[in-house]
Amino acid sequence: MVAVIIETARFNNIIAVNIETEDNHRNKGLAFALTHYFVNECIDNGIIVQWDCMVSNIVLQRVSKKANFQYFKKDTVYWFEI
C-alpha cells in the first residue's frame, strides 16, 4: 500500500472515509489524486462523502480544502484501547 481511502461508516447514501498515505510517499500529491478520483466516482454513483479529520492534521485539512470539501462541524472524539 502506498495510499488508500478507507470507508469507516455508511448510512444510506453517505459514507465516512479516512485517507492514509505511507510516510515515505507523502507530499507527492497522492492523497489529493486518490481523493479526486474517489469523490468523482462517488458523485457519479449518488454517494455523499464525509471526511473526518483531526484538527491537528493540517496536511489533510489542506488536501480536503483543495478537493473542495466543506467544513461541516467540529466534534469531540474520545479514544480508548480495547
What's the CA gap between 73 and 6, in Å, rounded?
21
Residue ranges of E strands in 2-78: 3-11, 14-21, 48-51
CATH 3.40.1010.20 assigned to 3-66: no
Q: What is the pLDDT of residues 40-76, one digit of tens each?
A: 999 999 999 998 888 888 888 888 888 888 888 888 8
Which of 44, 2, 46 lies closest to 21 in space, CA to CA? 2
What's the CA gap between 79 and 81, in Å, rounded?
7
* Domain definitions of the chain by residue range: 3-66
What's the CA gap between 74 and 28, in Å, rounded?
28
What is the residue whose three cell numbers read 492523497?
31
Q: Which residue has the higher pLDDT, 17 or 77?
A: 17
Its pTM stands at 0.76
